[in-house]
Amino acid sequence: MILTAVLFVFSAAAADAQPGRRFYVDAGWQFNGTVGNDFASNGNGWGAYIEGGYYVLPRIAVGLFGSFNTNNEYVPRCTYMGENGSALTTDKVNSIYQVPFGATLRYRFSYKVFQPYIQAKLGANYAQEYSYMPTMAYVDEQWGFYASPEIGFTWHPFHRSNFGFQFAAYYSYATNRSNGFGLNGIDNVGFKLGVSF
């Protein structure tokens, strides 16, 4: 992902330096919250994203995206009852790690200095769930289908430069299932802050 971003940056430098060009590359920090589950529902800022695309029409672009995020939730000490009368008293940290990637379709409302847009993402989502305890860890992993609508803007404040800033808010749903951790799909909400080339 880093090598691809570097290549896009050098391509952007060689291109005609005007907002409204035919391609875009966005990358930055991502804050993600998982909602609707009892396993790890906290929001965490342990995420990043990269995406790029080409405007096949002046306002419509197709492209690719990739991101990752980790959500952790601390569970205070309590006693868990097992089979045959056994019990375990411990605290733990529940964690969901996700890596979605796939294709994008973007519509920008303007191709001037300020470019608000809406975007749809479809692809795959790799997820791992962990439950860390002081003496052991439980792990599950699976693949799922990923879909995400997004609304945001890019702003190119420097005259005749493709460099700019991006802000976006999104919702996503992944079909990942984990019987062991009680997940029946993963709902995410969050926002992104980054740079645009």
114: in domain? yes
- 3-state class (DSSP) for residue 41: coil
Instruction: Quote the tokens at residue 153.
Output: 């803007």
User: What is the CATH classification number for the domain harbouring 138?
Assistant: 2.40.160.20
| Domain region containing 166 | 2-7+23-196
Q: How far apart are CA 195 and CA 175, in angstroms?
A: 30
pTM for this predicted structure: 0.81
Residue type, 57: L
Bridge-based pairing of strands 87-108 and 114-132 is: antiparallel
| Res 21: pLDDT | 74
The helix (run of H) or strand (run of E) holding residue 196 is strand 183-196
17: in domain? no
For 38, residues 6+ apart whose C-beta sits below 8 A from its C-beta are 182
| Res 140: pLDDT | 93
70: in domain? yes
96: in domain? yes
Do 26 and 9 form a contact (C-beta atoms < 8 A)?
no
| Res 1: pLDDT | 52
15: in domain? no
Could you list the mean pLDDT of each consecutive 10-residue stretch along the chain, which spans 197 residues? 46 43 93 89 91 96 97 85 79 93 97 94 96 87 97 91 94 94 92 96
The DSSP code for 151 is E
14: in domain? no
| Res 20: pLDDT | 53
| Res 8: pLDDT | 47
12: in domain? no
Number of domains in the chain: 1
**Number of helices and strands in the chain (H, E):** 1, 9
13: in domain? no
